[in-house]
Every structure is written in structure tokens, then in C-alpha cells.
Amino acid sequence: MLLRDASRTFSGRKTIARLLLFLAALPCSFSVGIASEPIFPEGSKFGLVPPSGFTLATDFRGFISPDIGGSIVIEELPSTAFKHFQKQNIKAAMARIGVTIGTTNAEKFGDLNGIAIIGHQTLRSILFLKCMLFLEGTDATAVISLQIPQKNIGAAGHAPCAALTTVVERREVRTLPLPFELTNMGGMRKTKNQTAGGVVLTAGSKDLIENAEQPLLLISPSLGAVPKGNKADVSRNLLHNFTALGNAKIVSESSLLIDGAPSTEIIASGTFGRTDMPIVVVQWIRFSKERYIRMIGLSAANRKNKAFAAFHRVRDGLRAK
């Protein structure tokens, strides 16, 4: 009852703290929405019972409710990331990416160790309710984030944040064939942290990048049809959902051809996720009728030239299947 009522009247830090404590105390069998079994996004080790009105997203791994502007994003990081989160001052780290929280709580979610956060974040001048779970899986760390505009919480159904407590991990995931090939790795290598149907490249020995000490290039396809809207708007929305980029500021936007198909480029500056490290990001999106292929490269600002040269070589060597 408390979570449902507080979600509808969410308005400040005291409410956030009460929400968080209640969320952590909820049993994992708590039923939300009309589904009775967890739903797994394509290629994801983690699934959950989404709130009523949420369906599988096609342009990111998770769920979406277009009617209320809500989303649930599921990210998978290396298994060592959870221990790293435990050592952080999470409240300060979240503040760096614009999330204000009341308290955090470590708790068990089924068989998974987790850290629960409830707070709020202002994006594009809109105040959002933000519910997050950091989960220690068998061989991966899951970061699950739900956000709903505050003005639409009343339309979000019963206890939307409680949906995150239904998370489960599956042991085996069907490997998806890549809808592209890379003919030039640009001197980079694949990391152990791969995405659904995608590739993560870096230059250096680390697989878990904590402070932009190594460049990263993520290449992944859409999980369904290309979202409606013009290419520039779709590209900006996708960049906006890139959680590793904090305090984002778009530097330039342009159009180009990648492997003969219409594409977009956005270069943006900001800080690396939950740190103050200045970074520069480039995002390329190659559009086709069936899907898009997204490439997003990240580098420390003071090492941009070398990293971007490698990113360009990989981009120019991409071939869609």
C-alpha cells in the first residue's frame, strides 16, 4: 500500500526514503501488472514482470510505455562491477548524473544480492521518478533502471517500482547472430562484456572501465523496427539514454553514409558516468528499413584524437549483413 500511494504522490526526499525502504522489504513474489511470469528482453540474462502497460522495447534492452513516457532499461556489466558499486558513495555518484536519492539499501532479491535506489532526475526540464537496482548475477552485474515522469505517476498503475523486485536471472541465453561484421578492428579488441547481438571494443587490458582510462566502442543493432520519427530526433533520443555520459552537451551533428546507407553522427562532451572525468563521445547510427546499427565511442577528453582515429577505422570497416 505504501509504495502504491507514495508513487502516486511522489514529491520529495522524505517520500523517496520511505519508498526505498518499503521497496527493499517487498517479497520478490510481489505481483505487478497483468503478466505472471518474468519476460526477458532478447539476449538478456535478466528479466522481470513489467508493470501494466509496459511492453518490450525495440531500440534498447528493456521495456517501454509510450502512453506515459515510462521506460525500464536493463544493462549488463562485468561481474566485478557490483563490488565496485558497493565501495562507492552511491549518493554522490548518482548526483553526478543528475539523480537525487533519499537513501540506498542493500537487500536480497530472490537469490541475487542487490542495491536498491529510489529518487528523481530532471531530464529535458521534466521531473522523473527514478527507481534503480544494482544486482550481482552469476557472471554479470545488472543495472535496472525504471523512470516515469512525475506528472504521469498516477497513470502508471499499481506500484510500478515494485516491478523491479520481480527480477530473475536465467542461466543460459540464446546467442544471437551479429547482423554485421567488422572488417577492421582499429587496433582494438573485444571485451568480455558483450551485449545482445552486439560487440564492445576497447584498447587496453581492462574489461571494466572505471574512469575512462581506456576508450570504449559499443556496436549494437536495434532489437526491432526503427523507431518512428526523423533520423536526427531518433539519434538524439538514443544518445540521451546513454548512461555513461553525464552532463551531456552536444558539440556537433551531421549526416553521412556508412556502408552505403544513410546515417547520423553526433559528437558530445560531458563526464564519465558517475565520475568527474571529462570525456568526449561520438555516436554513429546506420539506418536501414529493417533496423539500425548503432556505434558509440567514448574516450577521455585528453586522449580523444587517438581514440577517435581507431573509432573511425572500425566504422569504415563495418559491413551490414
What mean pLDDT comes out for the span 42-53? Answer: 87
What's residue 21's pLDDT?
38
pLDDT at 18 over 60: no
pLDDT at 233 over 60: yes
| Inter-residue contact 195 to 178 (CB < 8 Å) | no
What's residue 110's pLDDT?
79
- Domains, the chain, ordered by start: 2-169 (3.40.1000.10), 180-320 (3.40.1000.10)
pLDDT per residue as tens digits for the range 163-172:
888 899 988 7
The rounded distance, in Å, linking the Cα atoms of 71 and 75 is 13
What mean pLDDT comes out for the span 83-97? Answer: 76
pLDDT per residue as tens digits for the range 93-135:
777 667 888 667 888 887 889 998 888 888 778 888 888 899 9
Q: Where does residue 124 rank: exposed (0-12), middle (13-18), buried (19+ CB within 10 A)? A: exposed
Least confident of 13-27, 61-75, 306-320: 13-27
What's residue 274's pLDDT?
60
pLDDT per residue as tens digits for the range 141-170:
888 999 999 888 777 666 678 888 889 998
What's residue 305's pLDDT?
96
- The pairs formed by 169-175 with CB atoms below 8 angstroms and a separation of 24 or more are 169/45, 169/46, 169/111, 169/112, 169/135, 169/137, 169/138, 169/142, 170/40, 170/45, 170/46, 170/47, 171/138, 173/43, 173/44, 173/45, 174/43, 175/43
What mean pLDDT comes out for the span 76-90? Answer: 78
| Inter-residue contact 258 to 193 (CB < 8 Å) | no
What's residue 90's pLDDT?
77
pLDDT at 13 over 50: no
Q: Read out DSSP for 169-215?
A: E-S--PPPPPSEEES--TT-EE-S---TT-EEEESSS-SS-SSS-S-
Q: How confident is the model at residue 261 (pLDDT cuts 50, 70, 90)?
A: very high
Q: How confident is the model at residue 61 (pLDDT cuts 50, 70, 90)?
A: confident
